[in-house]
Structure 1
Amino acid sequence: MNELLSWGLVIATYQREKILCQCLQLAVEQTRKPSEIIVIDASDHWQNTRTQVMAEIASHHPEIRWIYQAADQRGLPLQRNQGLALATADITFLLDDDSLMYPTCAEEIMRVYEADAEGVVKGVQSILAPTLPSEITINDVPKEVGWHRDQWIPGIASFQRFIWRHVFLMDSDFLCIPYDGEFPDYSVPTSLSHLNVRPVKIFHGCRMTYRREAIAQEPFEPLLLFYALLEDMDASYRVSRHGMLLETSDAKLHHFQSNSGRLSRYVVSVLSAMNQAVCLRRYSNDLKRDRDRFYQLTVRRVVAEIFKDGLSRRWTFPQVCGLLSALKHSPQVFKLSDEELEHWYPYFQKELIASGKPPAFPQTPSTQPAAEIR
């Protein structure tokens, strides 16, 4: 019998106290209990939420190690790294604060890790369930979305999936540019052949779990200060270079996608492309190759967002405008030295969040003020 492993939950949260409590409640009700729960909260009134969580949830589960801290700096990657530094469990669940686990989610994920006799599996993610895990009431407002993948029409579903993946580019694999030129290729080991698992190239940020030592070796990129596409892709791809990433269809999780604490569509679109440029600048083993791939992909994304903004009747086309703005500013990323990039990109993000538009150019990066995130 393989050794039993412990698992812990690390949650980075911001202004989502309503859904956070439900997320934590479902975590402690898992059929396989966590050994620790760590919350890093960047909210304005984090002390109030901490008091509520400790009184209403933690007090009923003293066997669990609880840590609830204020964020040193606001930002999903930074908060996750802060939580990881405090984690001690063998397996770390890095879920979103609006990720709602089905009762056996943790048990099924741990089953995969414990069956991995060769130790080649570095991460496991659940599948996404379209409905809530039980008859629970969510006192929160979901993010507004347009047409989504659950709305397949019988008879043309395969055509819809093609459009979804290749025209709308709504598949993370298409959006990730591997820093080594291609993704690692792994085969599922024989010790896992009896489980419902499949290899994946990268992880979806709301449902990631890792061996703690693997994600500690490849922490979240500290230059990506705010939530946007790629912080999860970047970290999971870097981990995949050390070992296999799997998805298990026996573990289920519902991503509620709370609207609270979100940035505007325009800002997220700018950051999604700029973050990718920054990660390529820092990690690519062939920057010329990947810079060209970045521009080609971003132009394709502009075309895709024209359709998506239009079909969703967003007539200001915020996502299109965001990507066009990123195309304008991303050449700056590829020109900067490492030191200039580390100074300039936090400033760029701070100004974008504060004003709703990127800072004007030209400015000399080395003379710009350091970003203050709090």
Structure 2
Amino acid sequence: MKFSLLVCTYKRAMPLLQLLESVAVQTCYPSEILIIDGSVDDETSLMLSNNLFLNLTYFKVSSEDRGLTRQRNFGIKKASSDSEILCFLDDDTVLEADYFENLLDAYAIYPEALGVGGYINNEVIWTKTDPNYIAKSNEFTFDGWKRNEGKRFVLRKKLGLDSNVPPGFSPSFSHGRSIGFLPPSGKIYETQQLMGGVSSFRKSVFDKLQFSTYFEGYGLYEDADFTLRVSNIGKLFVNTNAKLAHYHNESGRPNKYDYGKMVVRNGYYVWRVKNPKPSLKSKVKWHAITWLLTVVRSTNILDKSSIKRKEAFTESLGRTIGWWSLLFNKPKISHL
């Protein structure tokens, strides 16, 4: 099965090099690697000129194609016509040696799959549980595994605002649990959503759908929007054996105020694309959870670290302004 790897990058030359070094030792190597660079400097091109990788093609995009979703759509057009699978990776990930092999295995096991996601294994500590284990209030359990809950989910459970669908699925009021709440069981799980930076899709999907250009620049939640639309026409899966690490490099990220606004406005957009006519109960829940998460984030202003206090304040302000902006300037919803 021929597959292409597309990596959209922005001012992360050294993290990209680490990723490519992990690609170089894969048990299944990509038919082509497309690097789509939106950087305004030449650090990435210089790094690649000093480090050669098999089947790699580099593209430096102009301003009209800069931004995560635009770069992805650009790369899709450049992918080889005989590639069956297009794989997407964030530029600050590092793969285990059998990542692509396990990813492709899922397509063989589930030939109806339109997309398969990988599994990030360096962010959460999971523990195997006994069959009759009863979770504590600050724990989340799934399929015989447990992990600690964050403050936001503890409060949501107490207030009756927890997600009522499995991880990777979207409830009618949105604010579900991400695929990060799937355990390292070695199983393949069906989902409605994939993380864009650890995803893959059949190339035929892009004959019908593309990444939405509503999500400018950093593109927060663009992956949720796209994969929810893909799940309307076919099945998506996550293979927890396709493992990689994600290091969340800070370079190229928006400031916390803009990020806070994106959390609310982009979250609203994704919710209404999936649920164009939500019930009154779902509307109340979406807004209640949005405000609860804003309040939880604002409590970090009390942190003794001045940097973290400033970040918490500016992000909370961005979330607040983002919510108020919905009253008079809602995002224009597109179902393309």
Aligned to 1:14: 10
Offset at residue 180 of structure 1 (A): 10
Aligned to 2:327: 331
Cα shift readout 1:180-220 (whole Å, capped 9, x = no counterpart): 9999xxxxxxxxxxx82112231123211111222452221
Cα shift readout 1:271-315 (whole Å, capped 9, x = no counterpart): 121112334555643167565554233113213323455568533
Offset at residue 177 of structure 1 (A): 5.5
Aligned to 1:342: none
- What residue identity is the alignment partner of 2:96? Y
Cα shift readout 1:15-67 (whole Å, capped 9, x = no counterpart): 10111112122223211010011111111124x52243144223xx2xx2524
1:122 matched to 2:114:
yes
1:69 matched to 2:96:
no
Offset at residue 98 of structure 1 (A): 0.5
Q: Give structure 1 stretches of 5+ with no counterpart.
A: 131-147, 184-194, 340-374
- What residue identity is the alignment partner of 1:220? F
Aligned to 2:40: 44
Structure 1 residues 175 and 312: alpha-carbon distance in aligned structure 2, compared to 1, 3 A threshold:
farther
CA contact (8 A) 1:96 1:207 kept: yes
Offset at residue 103 of structure 1 (A): 0.7
Match of 1:166 among 126, 147, 153: 153
Offset at residue 239 of structure 1 (A): 1.0
Structure 1 residues 182 and 306: alpha-carbon distance in aligned structure 2, compared to 1, 3 A threshold:
closer
- What residue identity is the alignment partner of 1:20? L
What CA distance in whole angstroms lies between the structure 2 residues aligned with 1:213 and 1:305? 41
1:272-283 equivalences in 2 (<5 Å):
272-280=263-271
CA contact (8 A) 2:70 2:213 kept: yes
Counterpart secondary structure, 1:208: strand
Offset at residue 178 of structure 1 (A): 6.0
Aligned to 1:80: 72
Q: Give structure 2 stretches of 5+ with no counterpart.
A: 141-148, 157-161, 177-185
Match of 1:264 among 255, 260, 280: 255
Match of 1:226 among 213, 217, 221: 217
Aligned to 2:182: none
Aligned to 1:206: 197
Aligned to 2:89: 95
1:299 matched to 2:291:
yes
- What residue identity is the alignment partner of 2:323? L
What CA distance in whole angstroms lies between the structure 2 residues aligned with 1:260 and 1:11? 16
Offset at residue 101 of structure 1 (A): 0.9
1:109 matched to 2:100:
no
- What residue identity is the alignment partner of 2:153? H
CA contact (8 A) 1:23 1:98 kept: yes
- What residue identity is the alignment partner of 1:166? F
Structure 1 residues 173 and 51: alpha-carbon distance in aligned structure 2, compared to 1, 3 A threshold:
farther
Offset at residue 266 of structure 1 (A): 2.2
> How high is the sequence identity, in percent, across the aligned residues?
22
The structure carrying a bigger helix percent of its residues is 1
Aligned to 1:322: 318
Cα shift readout 1:306-332 (whole Å, capped 9, x = no counterpart): 345556853342332221111111223
What CA distance in whole angstroms lies between the structure 1 residues aligned with 2:168 and 2:188? 23
CA contact (8 A) 1:277 1:333 kept: no
Offset at residue 81 of structure 1 (A): 1.2
Offset at residue 85 of structure 1 (A): 1.6
CA contact (8 A) 1:200 1:247 kept: yes
Aligned residues: 298
CA contact (8 A) 1:168 1:308 kept: no
Structure 1, 311-320 or 49-58: larger mean CA deviation: 311-320
Counterpart secondary structure, 1:242: coil
CA contact (8 A) 1:15 1:260 kept: yes
What CA distance in whole angstroms lies between the structure 2 residues aligned with 1:111 and 1:86? 25
The structure carrying a bigger strand percent of its residues is 2
What CA distance in whole angstroms lies between the structure 2 residues aligned with 1:175 and 1:309? 30
TM-score of the aligned structures, taking structure 2 as reference length: 0.76
Structure 1 residues 81 and 161: alpha-carbon distance in aligned structure 2, compared to 1, 3 A threshold:
farther
What CA distance in whole angstroms lies between the structure 1 residues aligned with 2:304 and 2:201? 36
Counterpart secondary structure, 1:19: helix
